Amino acid sequence: MDISTEVRPGANRYVSGEGILQDLPSYLVGFKKISIITGEKSAEAFKQYYRKELDYPTYRYDGSSSQENALELTAKIEEAELILAIGAGRVIDTAKMAAEALNAELIVVPTLISNCAPFTPIVAVYHPDRTFKAIGYMKRAPFLTLVDSKFLLATPKDYFVAGIGDTLAKWYEIEGLTRNLPDEQKSAYVRLGIASAKAIQEILLNDAIPAIQDLEAQKATPAFSRITDTIIGLAGETGGFAASFGRSAGAHAVHDGLSYLAAAHEQLHGKKVAYGILVQLAHTNDLREINKLKTFYQATGLPLKLKELNISDTSKENLAPVINHAASANETFRLVDPQITADQVYQAIKTVESL
């Protein structure tokens, strides 16, 4: 059994709307043993909005999204029917691992619009030192994802922009993964995944810039809600439908490599992925597409150069951890080009830096 190849569209239930968190108690009915996993900033943001006490044992993750921390929390919780995850990507992924270990259901309340973690049964697993370790596949998807657009207006602009970058990769990665796949080998679900990713790209290119303006104006407009649901929900559908043909490729491989540079540790996931899109496109010689994206990147604040990720030294020696990891045998750049080498990744970076 290879769970990574199965069609798994996403959360069991997805509820999105303005002010829906006020109905949270009704969604918890029927669960007796409930524990909360959250972080300090996430808990404070939720408290400021919800303004009611949740009388359940509450546990703080350590910021790493590591298996080690998830198991520490599991040992403290001991037993639960439901884990309520309140937070952003790393909190949620930690809660997924803990819920799986406890054989408990998971309800997710995202506190940021930054990625599809609230929706999918997939986790990004890191080492305790926060360097990337692996992608993990949980047996259970979230039981329920609650997306309150009014609450999520508190998302810092940088995180929102990073979410846009991470989600934009869905189209470029699935296109890279399937461009050489004969039509007769594209199953119905792979085709649906491709169509979903193309719809994501179109929504982002049309609505992302006005949605950023709406976030700054604190208005939960239709454009803002579409981008919110695209980043959190639709992004997960691409990999859910197309399975191994719809997940990470070159863009995320570059992100994973960048996690090994201390200078980039404080940079948000989605911004590193957005830069990785450009590197993947440079490697596949799609320079025209990079030029098409330039205006969009500039308007949204996505990085076109490594210096925008706090990396000023672009020498091969300094970038060795990045290029070696991105081209390694177990990384997803191999799904775009099975023969990819570290030298080729570096040449693609040089191309991006020179444009």
Question: How far apart are the C-alpha atoms of 266 and 280, rounded to whole Å?
Answer: 22
Q: Is 240 annotated as a binding residue?
A: no
Ramachandran class of 10: left when φ > 0, alpha when ψ lies in -120 to 50, beta otherwise: left
Query: C-alpha angle 128/132/136, rounded to 5°?
Result: 95
Give the three-state DSSP class for 134: strand
Q: Is 126 annotated as a binding residue?
A: yes
Q: Is 90 annotated as a binding residue?
A: yes
Q: Could you write out the three-class secondary structure of 145-183?
A: EEEECCHHHHCCHHHHHHHHHHHHHHHHHHHHHHCCCCH
Question: How far apart are the C-alpha atoms of 48 and 215, rounded to whole Å?
Answer: 18
Q: Is 252 annotated as a binding residue?
A: yes
Q: Is 337 annotated as a binding residue?
A: no
Q: Is 111 annotated as a binding residue?
A: yes
Q: Is 226 annotated as a binding residue?
A: no
Report the 10 Å Cβ neighbour count for 200.
22
Q: Is 114 annotated as a binding residue?
A: yes
Q: Is 238 annotated as a binding residue?
A: no
Closest CA to 74 of 89, 61, 63, 64: 61
Query: What's phi and psi for 234, nearest 5 deg?
Result: -60, -35
> Which uninterrupted H or E stretch holds 205?
helix 188-217
> In the 8-state DSSP scheme, what is residue 230?
I
Q: Is 23 annotated as a binding residue?
A: no
Question: How far apart are the C-alpha atoms of 166 and 86, rounded to whole Å?
Answer: 21
Q: Is 256 annotated as a binding residue?
A: no
Q: Is 283 annotated as a binding residue?
A: no
DSSP annotation string for 211-222: HHHHHHHT---H
Find the length of the chain.
355
Q: Is 158 annotated as a binding residue?
A: no
Q: Is 322 annotated as a binding residue?
A: no
Show binding-site residues for NAD(+): 89-93, 111-114, 120, 126
Show binding-site residues for glycerol: 166, 252, 269
Show binding-site residues: 89-93, 111-114, 120, 126, 166, 252, 269
